[in-house]
Amino acid sequence: MSFQLTNVPAAQVHGAGAMAVEVDGLRLALFSLDGEIFATGNICTHAFALLTDGHVENGCVECPLHQGLFDIRTGKAQGTPVTKDIATYAVKIDEGIVWVDTQPRAGAGEAGGRAAALAAPADFRRLVIVGAGQAGAEAARRARAEGFAGTITMLGDEPHPPYERPPLSKDLLLGKTTLADAHVFDAGEAEALKLELRLSTPVASIDRDKQAVVLGDGETLAYDMLVLATGAEARRIDLPGAETVTLHYLRDAKDSEALGKALRAAESVVVIGGGFIGLELASAARALGKSATVIEAQDRLLQRLLPPEPAEFLAWVAEQNDVALRLGAGVARVGPEGVTLTDGTTVAADCIVVGIGARPRDDLARAAGLETAATGGIVVNGLNRSSDPAIYAVGDVAVLRDSVTGAEARMESWQNANLSAARAGGAIAGKPQIGTDVPWFWSDLFGGTLQIVGAPAADQTCVRRDGEAPVFFCLDADNRVAACIDFGDAEALRAARQMIEAGQPVDRAALADPDTNLFQIEDDDMKMLPIEKRFAWPAAGLDRVPDWAYTNKEIYDREVERIFHGKTWNYVGLEAEVPEAGDFVRSYVGPTPVVMVRDHDGGINVFENRCSHRAAEFCRELRGNTEEFVCPYHQWSYDLKGNLAGVPFRRGVNGEGGMGPDFRPENHGVKKLFVTQRNGAVFASFSDAVEPLEEYLGEEMLTDFDAVFNGKKLTVLGHYRHTLMGNWKLYPENLKDPYHATLLHTFLVTFGLLVAGNKSAMIVDPSGRHSTMASAKSDGAAVSDENKAEMRAYRDGLTLSDPRMMDFIPEFDSPWSVTMQVVWPGLIVQREMNTLGVRQIVPNGPNEFTMIWTMFGYEDDTEEMTRHRLRQGNLMGPAGFLGLEDNEAIKFVQDGMLNSTGGEHLVVLDPKVPTGTSTTLISEAAIRAMYKHWRQEMGL
Amino acid sequence: MNTMAAPVVDDAAARRAARLDIEEFNAAYCTVLDDGALEDWPEFFTEDAFYNITSRENFDHGRPVGLVYCENKAMLKDRALAIAKTSMFGPRYLRHYMTNTQVTGIEPDGTICATVNYILIETLAELPEGRLHQAGRMIDRFQRQEDGSLLLSSRIAVYDTLLVPNALVLPV
Ligand SMILES: Cc1cc2nc3c(=O)[nH]c(=O)nc-3n(C[C@H](O)[C@H](O)[C@H](O)COP(=O)(O)OP(=O)(O)OC[C@H]3O[C@@H](n4cnc5c(N)ncnc54)[C@H](O)[C@@H]3O)c2cc1C
């Protein structure tokens, strides 16, 4: 035994829970468990990380790096990735101070102390589902089916187990079926799912901080994940005279039972509201032999939902079935005599039903501060996850917001209840569902069935086809089938589904002709699917990036056209590279070669390096000074502004040959780009529609940009050029990925450039395209002993022999000592302490890009400052301590994609920030923001 | 630096002798980089040695940056240590070839000025056929030590192969 004093009061350990100490050169961890103190080695046996930074639970500590788990009392490793136990040490407390025996306990910590293979740990997560309707039930079913092994509790305010609602206005209403027939779960299924089903149990509120739901009686129920499946309720109407009659609404079993009785007892039924439920009720009334009138405020049925033709057909069908339609009619009052309209007429009725739509039951969510839509409903992403990553919403109450366009859609249908529940259930079980289905809805009317596939809208044009039964195809502006409303032609409906999925323009006449084979139309057109059909972004949304975004040539060509040649500012060079008239450098905009040259007026011009005669890349020198550019092939010459100056033998020889009389040199200059400059940096654009550079960058980005380009004259220190074997976007992504910094770049951590406690940020501009990764180096004095110990922990005994490389000499008007700024699409402005540079991305196809670095200082730098910048330059570039690792990582990523079949990347870190600036470095929100912008630009 | 008693001569014989020493020196130098321990590499340099790897583009235009830029042996040691202990890169073989050794002068203080062409072949696991990574010229200054051996007081590697394939992980 050799107990050593730690100088740490026991109370401090109990207060902190875990503390790092150094005794006798040993780095130890002290843990407080149930009032007792335990000591273990502090360095994980798997990779270099401090266990005291980890998470303590159930007597075990989880390493922060790879989640290796050790039992604190015994040091036993608890399974993958850790196989070797940590050492444990005896502890005694003397006068309140902790002493530790520096001889490790026998048995633990020795090589070969392998963890026994452990059974898969039990899943202790609690899933709570609010709302025992169709979507809630389906979510439970799907979570289990996908392997969720925690507990599931479902809370419903109705007294019935979950049931489907469509029969409420159909056979159940007519008494042909019972509620039991409509139950979602088969007998015994809820038990088999190990589902705790609590009926007649309304939920009163959600406490998101405590992760608990509060029931009506005050009982609280903790959750790890919550599904809100609260559905919708019938929209109510306030009518004069309402107190004198019974107004029927229809949403649940109780309503249906009451309405069924009333219908049977009635003579004349009036339905207020000409939607599907209203029509189904009129249909039910007619089936019972009652007179039926539908009152609709709009001029036609289903005005918001359908184009005129199918709606008018539906009206015709209703009238054929002796339903009286009162369109464009307002209700003035109701009474025992019936319904009085605003035009003064009264429609006699002894049973009045109101079917004017439903309101999503989002009150719980609203009160809990979840994001809700202006028109009602809980906003969710492609996985049906709400703005709180622990909470999902499904069914009628969920509003799906497109992560790229921001378009919102809420659907009330049997199919949506199931599909949304499947997405949430899959996500909860850790198996997100891929792929979307064409929406589908049906309604039973007058003995037939109407079906809708796709997304109809009032403003679509319609093509009617009269085959076996009438079918209406709704076409979008490009003549593509967007939806189909069918009255009984199953074959046409199947064909429509295919056409919607294919998204091909179709021939209207062929579509209308009952003799054309609809599947055949399809085949001919399928040959050239539009790009957005062939490259469908994963349904999970921005959480995933498909491989094709990085490897496909067609996508790459579209990027060149829409991004590099589109509305972007592309860095081409520094003013300091062309100080004198006639000075030029060869550069690029995207992959396209350009020349940047200073003319005699002092202006800087950028034009394509492509002769307008035969396309030759005429400027061959990297840089130089010239009075004109002469294409070597046929000696066409251009002035410093890119105007065509001379064409040899323009007039021919001896009156023969030469150019025709209509040839005008001013029409044949090289392609000139739009040019802008800011404090010495030169940008060019193919587009005249791009906003001014200041707006393009935005205020926040401009601040970081101007810290480097502050107006001082620049001195070019030289260039690096290298080819990276990866897609060009991986480079900006690398600088939007603060997560990798401490994991890949051990150098940063080893030599204290980036340590816990450093101030840092990942800032994204509002458009999502530009960003700055920033950190502030704490000066030596400010680094706490604790952090110093941690820095050393990663690699023992490493110090720089010449630490000058890591010196930061403050010289910038900025809180940051390091900023890595991405100026979309192809510029990186590097300020790594005092080493300054720009990196220009030149893509060469989807799988490779060249990077051109220009390192610089300021004209007023002292010689020592220049040397300091050069010394610090060892960090970056193709051989830089950090740079080379990024290059390798990017190559590995591309290799991974090229050497496997298409897959997708996972970019899910930090779900609380869907896209944009994050406050933590353990985030991929900036990458998601970039792809949001990219998808908008690419139309994909 | 030079503490040798004999007066310095710069004649054909002296240059020939120096050239042989340099060729031997460079053979050993390449062996350390190709097959040896990177930590031994700084031992080929004097304490105040300058070492720079730069492109022909920069060199010809008097631009001072280097892929690797070291102002003394301490910085060379730091590079060796950082590469060996902290850097992540894919497994590879590197082979250095140095030819066409020319002694361009012997200065009065004994400094031997020399140039030598070099090529660096890189073979990656996924590229077993290997590829030319760099071709260029070393511009060197050697100091003879008391025991007669040589050490570099300056080595500037100027590469013609402008476009570096991916990354340069080890020095040349
Ligand atoms: C009469 C009728 C006919 C329909 N016909 C068709 C049709 O023909 N075709 C079609 O595609 N779709 C039809 N639908 C639509 C379809 O039934 C719904 O889209 C579907 O039921 C939505 O399921 P849900 O789980 O989101 O909501 P619901 O099934 O409404 O379930 C929500 C449940 O949550 C409960 N709840 C709400 N708040 C709380 C709370 N705070 N605490 C506890 N429980 C709560 C509610 O009481 C309810 O039981 C019809 C709907 C109705 C009402």
**pLDDT tens, residue by residue, A261-302:** 999 999 999 999 999 999 999 999 999 999 999 999 999 999
Over residues A176-206, the pLDDT tens digits come to: 999 999 999 999 999 999 999 999 999 999 9
Q: Which of A724, A734, A745, A805 to mutate to test the interface with B (most CBs of B within 10 A)?
A: A805
Percent of all residues in chain A with a pLDDT value above 90, rounded to a whole number: 71
Ligand 1 centroid to B122 CA: how many Å? 66
Instruction: Kindly indicate the confidence band of residue A757, based on its pLDDT and cuts at 50, 70 and 90.
Output: low
Domain annotation covers residue A500: yes
Which DSSP symbol is given to B12?
A: H
Question: Quick check: CB of A168 below 6 Å from ligand 1?
Answer: yes
Q: Which of A907, A906, A912, A908 is nearest to A390 (CA)?
A: A912
- Chain B interface with A: residues with Cβ < 8 Å: 53-55, 57-58, 61, 63-72, 74-75, 77-79, 81-83, 85-90, 126, 162-169
Q: Which of B143, B134, B149 is nearest to B68 (CA)?
A: B134
Which residue among A95, A118, A141 closes a domain? Answer: A118
Q: A114 or A268: which carries more pLDDT confidence?
A: A268
DSSP notation for A417-438: HHHHHHHHHHHHTT--------
CATH number for the domain spanning A263: value is: 3.50.50.60
Q: So what's the pLDDT on residue A794? A: 46
> Would the CB atoms of A717 and B54 count as touching at under 8 Å?
no
Domain annotation covers residue B164: no
Ligand 1 centroid to A440 CA: how many Å? 16
Domain annotation covers residue B92: yes
Ligand 1 centroid to A620 CA: how many Å? 70
Chain B residues with CB-CB distance to A850 below 8 A: 163
Q: Which of A712, A826, A818, A686 is nearest to A763 (CA)?
A: A818
Residue A321's domain comprises 236-355
CATH number for the domain spanning B98: value is: 3.10.450.50
Q: So what's the pLDDT on residue A116? A: 38
CATH number for the domain spanning A68: value is: 2.102.10.10
Q: So what's the pLDDT on residue A523? A: 52
Residues A111 and A136 reside in one and the same domain: no
Q: So what's the pLDDT on residue A1? A: 67
**CA gap A907, A923 in Å, rounded:** 9
Q: So what's the pLDDT on residue B105? A: 96
Q: Are A732 and A545 within 8 A, CB to CB?
A: no
Mean pLDDT, residues A912-919: 90
Q: Which of A481, A476, A462, A472 is nearest to A521 (CA)?
A: A481
- Look at A510-524, A619-633, A713-727 and tell me which has the smallest mean pLDDT: A510-524
Q: So what's the pLDDT on residue A781? A: 41
Domain annotation covers residue A917: yes
Which residue among A510, A534, A558 closes a domain? Answer: A534
Compute the nearest-CA separation of A666 from chain B (Å): 36
Instruction: Kindly indicate the confidence band of residue B36, based on its pLDDT and cuts at 50, 70 and 90.
Output: confident
Over residues A208-238, the pLDDT tens digits come to: 999 999 998 999 999 999 999 999 999 999 9
> Would the CB atoms of A746 and B166 count as touching at under 8 Å?
no
Q: Are A878 and B68 within 8 A, CB to CB?
A: no
Over residues A321-375, the pLDDT tens digits come to: 999 999 999 999 999 999 999 999 999 999 999 999 999 999 999 999 999 999 9
Domain annotation covers residue A434: no
pTM over 0.90: no
Q: Which of A464, A517, A449 is nearest to A474 (CA)?
A: A464
Domain annotation covers residue A58: yes
Strand partners, A776: A759
**CA gap B14, B22 in Å, rounded:** 12
Minimum Cα–Cα distance from A857: chain B residue: B65
Q: With an 8 Å Cβ cutoff, is A850 touching chain B? A: yes
Residues A668 and A713 reside in one and the same domain: no
Ligand 1 centroid to A267 CA: how many Å? 29
Q: For the purposes of burial, counting CB atoms within 10 Å of the CB of A494, is it exposed (0-12), middle (13-18) or buried (19 or more)?
A: middle
Question: Quick check: CB of A250 below 6 Å from ligand 1?
Answer: yes
Domain annotation covers residue B38: yes
Instruction: Tell me which range, A426-435, A508-517, A717-726, is most confidently predicted by mean pLDDT.
Output: A717-726
Domain annotation covers residue B137: yes
Compute the nearest-CA separation of B44 from chain A (Å): 17
Instruction: Kindly indicate the confidence band of residue A482, based on its pLDDT and cuts at 50, 70 and 90.
Output: very high
* Minimum-distance ligand 1 atom for the alpha carbon of A160: 49
Q: So what's the pLDDT on residue A280? A: 95
- Residue A58, sorted as left (phi over 0), alpha (psi -120 to 50) or beta, turns out to be left
Which DSSP symbol is given to A343?
A: T
Say if residue B2's pLDDT is above 60: no
Mean pLDDT, residues A911-919: 90
Q: A879 or A58: which carries more pLDDT confidence?
A: A879
Total structural domains within chain B: 1
Mean pLDDT, residues A704-732: 97
- Look at A97-106, A248-257, A838-847, A930-939 and tell me which has the smallest mean pLDDT: A97-106
- Look at A523-527, B99-103, B128-132 and tell me which has the smallest mean pLDDT: A523-527
Domain annotation covers residue B171: no
Percent of all residues in chain A with a pLDDT value above 70, rounded to a whole number: 94
Residue B25's domain comprises 12-159
Q: So what's the pLDDT on residue A528? A: 65
Instruction: Kindly indicate the confidence band of residue A792, based on its pLDDT and cuts at 50, 70 and 90.
Output: very low
Residues A652 and A522 reside in one and the same domain: no
Say if residue A837's pLDDT is above 90: yes
Q: Are A679 and A694 within 8 A, CB to CB?
A: no
Q: Which uninterrupted H or E stretch holds A27?
A: strand A26-33
Q: Are B170 and B84 within 8 A, CB to CB?
A: no
Instruction: Kindly indicate the confidence band of residue B5, based on its pLDDT and cuts at 50, 70 and 90.
Output: low
Residues A755 and A839 reside in one and the same domain: yes
B139: tokens are 């511009």
Total structural domains within chain A: 6
Over residues A64-77, the pLDDT tens digits come to: 888 888 999 999 88
Domain annotation covers residue B51: yes
Residues A864 and A723 reside in one and the same domain: yes
Question: Quick check: CB of A353 below 6 Å from ligand 1?
Answer: no
Reduced to 3 states, what is the DSSP secondary structure of residue B22? helix
